Every structure is written in C-alpha cells, then in structure tokens.
Amino acid sequence: MGAQIHSVPAVISGEPCEVAVRAVPSWLRAYVIGLSGFRSGSGQPVGHLLLPLASTTVIVDFGSPSGLVSGAREVATTGGETEWGHGVSIGLTPLGAGALFGLPMREFGGAAIALADVLGPAATELPGLLGAALTWEHRFDLLESILSAAFHHDAAAHGLRSGQQAATVEPRPGWQAAVFEPRRGRRAAAFEPPSGRAAAFEPPSGRAAASEPSSGRETVAFKWLSGREADALEGRSGREADVLGLRPGPAPGESQPGWEVGSRSRREPAELGLRPGCEAGALEPRSGRAADESQGPGREAAALGARLGGMTAVRPDDAVLAAWLRLQRGDRPPIGPVAAASGVGRRRLERGFREHIGISPGAVARIARFQRAVGQFGAGATPAEAAAGSGLVDQSHLARETRAMTGMTPAQLSAHLRTPPILVSHTSRSSGAGRA
C-alpha cells in the first residue's frame, strides 16, 4: 500500500510543519496501516482540509479531550471538527477499525467523532500519556504498546496456523503472510515470536532511538509508510525472524546483560536525547535508560490499551479485506477479477463493501488513484506528471477527478502541497532511530 495523506491545512501557509513517521511493526499490520506524528508550523491548532481516503483515521491531538476518529470519504471536506496542531495519527484497516471500536468502518464515514464517544472515558487518557513523552521514539513505543494490548484478544482469538494466509496482509512471493503466525505448526498466541527466539520485540541495547523534532512545528500531511518503505526501514530479509528483528536469546522471564525484562519481556532501548538547539530536554545517554520512561509509562500504556480493546470485534469477510487491500494499488483493476481472486462474486463483494467499508469497490480504487496523484503533487510533480504517475488517462482526466473530489483544480490542490513537511523522525521498532 502506498503512502496516504489524510489532510492538508485549509489555509495555505509557507511555514512548514513537522512530521515524524514510525514504520508499522509486522505484528500490527493486519490492523494498522500507518503511524505518524505531527506539529504545525505555528505550534497552534489549525483547520484542515480532509482529503478523500478509503481507511479509518484516529487523530490524537495532545491538547484535545480525547481525540477524533473519521472514516472513508469520497470527497474532501472541512466540515466538523478539523482543527489540531500537535499529536499523532493512526491509520486503521477495516479489520483494525472493527476490532478496536466494535463497529464496522462505515459507521465513521460522516463527520469526525470524538474518540471518547466511541471508546469511553479511557480514551481521555491518551493525549496526556502520549504528549508527556520526551521523544518521538518513546511516544511511538508507547503507542505500539497501547495498540498491541488493544488488539491482543482479537489476535489471540483468530490466531493463524502455519501456512495460512492472512487476508489483510499482502505478502511478497515466498513470504509467509500471516501476521501473528508461529512457525512449525505451533498454535498462535497473540504476538508470539518464532520458536527459539526471545519474546522481546526490541532492538539490542545500545541502538540509537529516535531523536526529537528540532523546532516547535506541527504536521499537515499524515504520510504513512507503504509496506515496501517499512520493509526497507526495518531491513527485512524475507524471513519471519528477521522481520520481527529478533535474535536468539533466553526464554521469556530470564535476564540478559544490557536488557530489562518487562511485563511482556520487552526490552526498552536507550532514548537518544535532543540535539543542541532542539525544543526541550537535556541529552540522554545512548547506554542506560530513564526509569521513568521505560517502566511506569510502558506499563500504563499496556493497561490503557487493554481497557480500550474491550469491544466485541466486528470482522469483515476475508474476501472484503483482501479486495480492499488489492484496490489500494490504484492501478484501475476491474472489479470482477478482483472479486474472483477473493473467492466471491462481484455482487457479494459489493454488498460486503457497503456493509463494512461504507463505499463501493470502485470508489476505493478511485480514491487510491487520487491519493497517488496527491503524492505526486507533494513531490513537486506537474499536473501532467501527476496524471501519468497515478494511473489516470491524461491531464484532463486528472482535472475532472480533482474537481469532482475536492472542488479544486489540480493547480489549486498542488498549492496546498507546495510547502513540504519537515521529516524529523523516521524509525522502526527493530532498527532504532533515524533523523532526516
């Protein structure tokens, strides 16, 4: 799946925002398609234009009561609550939305809904817990702990046996597709590592963690990593153990020099502090840990995730999940063959999309092409280049689609993307930190 841009500032500004990106770890990819952080150029909440999107997005602004959730939409909008300034965004698959909220993705297709109205009072703890983290790396670590705990019961209840293929994962040739799949026929417990490997999903002690943004700015574009970008960041080799970044080690509960065993046998990497001139905080050492960051907040995050994940999951059919993922490529595939490849007829697939996604298969493919054009504009492409690179017939086709989906000309849409965000942190859990 290519990068997705959820929204842009409603008012064009020459002041860039800042973006932090975390590659989605393999054990969450059935549920999550993107994790990003943002900070506006002014440091204050700004109104946004929400672009057409075929997924569900959770936005947690650190100054908000709980956060917002919005679903798939075929046209851009500025309606409802669209102001935020500093926080995180989470892109969810249809499976992730159904597992976290206990509702089909179509229920979030209108205006944004307050997160606490869906998840209850526990959601009000998210802004404070995530906002208090000193670095983006630690913030994303907490967010992963929350999401892993929230999806634990659904993953355990639907563990896949060796050789099965997860409908929500798009494997490469020769790859095992199941996200929570143990090797050698072992029964899947949620997030269980391959046999003989340590239960931690952390890099060895001493690897650099993510550095914090260099100024007080906020993001516009919630640009999520595609599977290939995430693979490159994690340094995947194609073997399941390498995907998870695990190495042979002691059994869960045993200790090892330089590692600390937590409630999930997690090892916390040392945080890399801010560079001179960065926004806050003294530099932290590469070796060692800050106890207040690695223990209390981590346990609190896992406990919060368990409370947030108490809903009875609503699971789309595997055919709907597989077709939804296939249509994200934006290459205009005929719906009939997509349905056949998913093992169902076209009409059944369309009914499943209306029931769970809220938009038709054709609309999902159309939005994917639009998102590719948006990505082209963000990279500085001309309208002609954007049309050629997004699967559209020609520049006039791009103009018609852009006007129908945003009410703007391609030039007007491009103006909203003319000031690229500053990438301040680009990390994966297994590879440590990287500052662009």
The pLDDT score that the predictor gives to residue 303 is 95
- Which of 133-147, 247-261, 293-307 has maximum average pLDDT? 133-147
Statement to judge: residues 216 and 110 lie in one domain: yes
Statement to judge: residues 41 and 70 lie in one domain: yes
Q: Is residue 22 part of a domain?
A: yes
Q: Is residue 306 part of a domain?
A: yes
Statement to judge: residues 64 and 201 lie in one domain: yes
Q: Give the tens place of pLDDT for each residue, 288-324.
A: 333 344 457 889 999 999 999 888 899 999 999 999 9
Residues spanned by the domain of 20: 7-154+192-310+421-427
What is the share, in percent, of the chain residues with pLDDT greater than 90? 50
Residue 1: band (very low, low, confident or very high) from pLDDT cuts 50, 70, 90: low
The pLDDT score that the predictor gives to residue 202 is 39
Q: Is residue 43 part of a domain?
A: yes
Statement to judge: residues 254 and 371 lie in one domain: no
Q: Is residue 178 part of a domain?
A: no
Q: Mean pLDDT in the chain?
A: 74
State yes or no: pLDDT of 186 exceeds 80: no
What's the CATH code of the domain at 352? Answer: 1.10.10.60
What average pLDDT does this structure show over 64-89? 94
CA 171 from chain centre, in angstroms, equals 18
Q: Give the tens place of pLDDT for each residue, 375-385.
A: 999 888 999 99
For the chain, the three-class secondary structure string (H helix, E strand, C coil) is: CCCCECEEECCCCCCCCEEEEECCCHHHCCCEEEEEEEECCCCCCEEEEECCECCEEEEEECCCCCCEEECCECCCECCCCCEECEEEEEEECHHHHHHHHCCCHHHHCCCCEEHHHHHCHHHHHHHHHHHCCCCHHHHHHHHHHHHHHHCHHHHHHCCCCCCCCCCCCCCCCCCCCCCCCCCCCCCCCCCCCCCCECCCCCCCCCCCCCCCCCCCCCCCCCECCCHHHHHHHHCCCCCHHHHHCCCECCCCCCCCCCCCCCCCCCCCCCCCCCCCCCCCCCCCCCCCCCHHHHCHHHHHHHHHHHHHCCCCCCCCCHHHHHHHHHHCCCCCCCHHHHHHHCCCCHHHHHHHHHHHCCCCHHHHHHHHHHHHHHHHHHCCCCHHHHHHHCCCCCHHHHHHHHHHHHCCCHHHHHHHCCCCCEEEEEEECCCECCCC
Q: Give the tens place of pLDDT for each residue, 209-221.
A: 333 333 333 333 3
Q: Give the tens place of pLDDT for each residue, 266-278.
A: 333 333 333 333 3
Statement to judge: residues 11 and 139 lie in one domain: yes
Quote the pTM value. 0.70
Statement to judge: residues 150 and 95 lie in one domain: yes
State yes or no: pLDDT of 50 exceeds 70: yes
State yes or no: pLDDT of 181 exceeds 60: no
Q: Is residue 298 part of a domain?
A: yes
Of 67-71, 224-228, 404-408, 417-421, the range with the lowest mean pLDDT is 224-228
State yes or no: pLDDT of 415 exceeds 80: yes
Q: Is residue 135 part of a domain?
A: yes
Statement to judge: residues 18 and 89 lie in one domain: yes
The total number of structural domains in the chain stands at 2
What average pLDDT does this structure show over 62-80? 93
Statement to judge: residues 206 and 81 lie in one domain: yes
Comparing 17 with 250, the larger pLDDT belongs to 17
The pLDDT score that the predictor gives to residue 158 is 77
The pLDDT score that the predictor gives to residue 43 is 83
Statement to judge: residues 262 and 353 lie in one domain: no
Q: Is residue 283 part of a domain?
A: yes
The pLDDT score that the predictor gives to residue 170 is 40
Comparing 104 with 428, the larger pLDDT belongs to 104
Statement to judge: residues 256 and 291 lie in one domain: yes
Statement to judge: residues 305 and 338 lie in one domain: no
Q: Is residue 436 part of a domain?
A: no
Statement to judge: residues 291 and 221 lie in one domain: yes
State yes or no: pLDDT of 2 exceeds 50: yes
